[in-house]
Structure 1
Amino acid sequence: MARYTGPVCRLCRREGEKLFLKGSRCLTPKCSVERRGYPPGQHGRENQFRRGRASDYLLQLREKQKARRVYGVMERQFNRYFERASRQKGLTGYNLLATLERRLDNVVYRMGLADSRPQARQLVQHGHIMLNNRKTNIPSALVAPGDVVSVRPQSNRLTYFKDLRQNLDDRRVPRWLTLETTNLSGRVLHVPAREDIDISLNEQLIVEYYSR
């Protein structure tokens, strides 16, 4: 299974904003965007002052790359998501974001069972999460309305999940999901609407990128 294994803080600095790839660390002064708010690389600091007006292609490319990095999706898989979204009824950009939001690792993150999407992906890969009472280790599995996502009973005894219960009440779960803190399980109520997706993405630029 292909995945990015390099330093994730470089990805945030390249996009010029926080992508929250390290969870709570991104909210502290240790965040690399706070400490070094310029692109990575040998000439990142000096090039930030030399750039002129960004071309339309560059804006479209950067938006596509940002979406990929936020959800932890590789290029080929992202292309498949876009092709699938373009075949569905409605707005292609919204269809794409709704599909990405319905990934199992993203749902685990949205429910508050992980501090970041990479951590949620790891929880799924290590077999701690069940989908409809069946163990799954596929982070890209797409949930549907009515599906139940829960922590395996064997994993509930782990220190991580014991400590998690004490802090879950402070987390806000999107309205398209529910969460029961007692047994660490939740249900998918409906497909997320555009206003439920609180990521600073302009999906129209992604559509324009693939429409060239």
Structure 2
Amino acid sequence: MAVDRTPVLKRCRQLGIDPVVMGINKESKRQLRRRRRQESEYGVQLREKQKAKFIYGVLEKQFRSYYQKAMKTEGITGDNLMSLLESRLDNVVFRLGFARTRKEARQTVRHGHITVNGRRVDIPSYQVKAGDLVAISNKAKDLLPIKEAIVASNGKAVPAWLEVDIEKLQGTVLQVPVRNQIDLDIDAQLIVELYSK
């Protein structure tokens, strides 16, 4: 399985992303020195695609399949794409506060610590649907990383399309997220323009 091993803070600087979006509360002391040159239209579109891929931890082949699925779905392709990415199980676990970062959420899912509607799911790209109940499995409730994540996320706002019960370590997907409920600074229309060339 291919893994992106680029240092997170370095990649955040390159793409102009605030590390908090990735679940990291560090700031790099280094300043990115770049010559001020005009970025081409293609360069701007590519940057948006790379930003989305990096934030959600998706590689090119899988990202392209999300794009093709978004095209086939009714509605605006860019909004559909963001909705598909946001409703991945690893992202939902991160949004509910059961993991500090999306990478940690992905590992939590991979190790079988998450259940959806009472059934164990170990596929990070699993698409949640409205009404799904996402919970920490009984065996994993006492694990230190999950306890630390819950303490760290205490007071962090949960998106409107999710509802969390910290006491029971479970959350409900109220609806599939729509574009205005996704708080990421990604212009999905630029990604659509890039792929439609």
Common fold by TM > 0.5: yes
Distance (whole Å) between structure 1 residues aligned to residue 56 and residue 136 of structure 2:
21
Matched, 1:100 2:100: no
Larger RCO (CA within 8 A; separation ≥ 6): 2
Contact 1:177 1:187 in 2 (8 A): yes
Contact 1:165 1:182 in 2 (8 A): no
5 Å-filtered alignment, 1:169-184, equals 169-184=154-169
Matched, 1:37 2:31: yes
CA deviations over 1:4-62 (Å, ceiling 9, x no partner)? 12322221121123254762433xxxx22xx1231xxxxxx3xx12x421110000011
Give the letter aligned to residue 16 of structure 2.
G
Counterparts in 2 of 1:163 and 1:36: CA distance versus 1, 3 Å: closer
Consecutive unaligned residues of structure 2, counting only runs of 5 or more, are none
Deviation at 1:195, TM superposition (A): 1.5
Counterparts in 2 of 1:54 and 1:129: CA distance versus 1, 3 Å: same
Distance (whole Å) between structure 2 residues aligned to residue 165 and residue 64 of structure 1:
31
Deviation at 1:191, TM superposition (A): 1.1
Counterparts in 2 of 1:91 and 1:114: CA distance versus 1, 3 Å: same
For residue 69 of structure 2, give the secondary structure of its aligned residue in structure 1: helix
Contact 2:19 2:25 in 1 (8 A): no
* 1:63 aligned partner: 48
Deviation at 1:168, TM superposition (A): 4.8
Give the letter aligned to residue 121 of structure 2.
T
5 Å-filtered alignment, 1:1-212, equals 1-20=1-20, 23-26=23-26, 31-32=27-28, 35-38=29-32, 45=33, 48-49=34-35, 51-166=36-151, 168-212=153-197
Distance (whole Å) between structure 1 residues aligned to residue 153 and residue 16 of structure 2:
30
Distance (whole Å) between structure 1 residues aligned to residue 128 and residue 84 of structure 2:
9
CA deviations over 1:152-206 (Å, ceiling 9, x no partner)? 0011122333455555541211110111111110111101121110000111100
Using the aligned pairs only, state the percent identity.
44
Distance (whole Å) between structure 1 residues aligned to residue 110 and residue 190 of structure 2:
32
Q: State which drifts further: 120-129 or 7-16.
A: 7-16
Give the letter aligned to residue 5 of structure 2.
T
Distance (whole Å) between structure 2 residues aligned to residue 211 and residue 71 of structure 1:
22
Consecutive unaligned residues of structure 1, counting only runs of 5 or more, are 39-44
Give the letter aligned to residue 160 of structure 2.
R
What is the TM-score of this pair, normalised by structure 1?
0.87
**Number of residue pairs the alignment of both structures matches:** 197
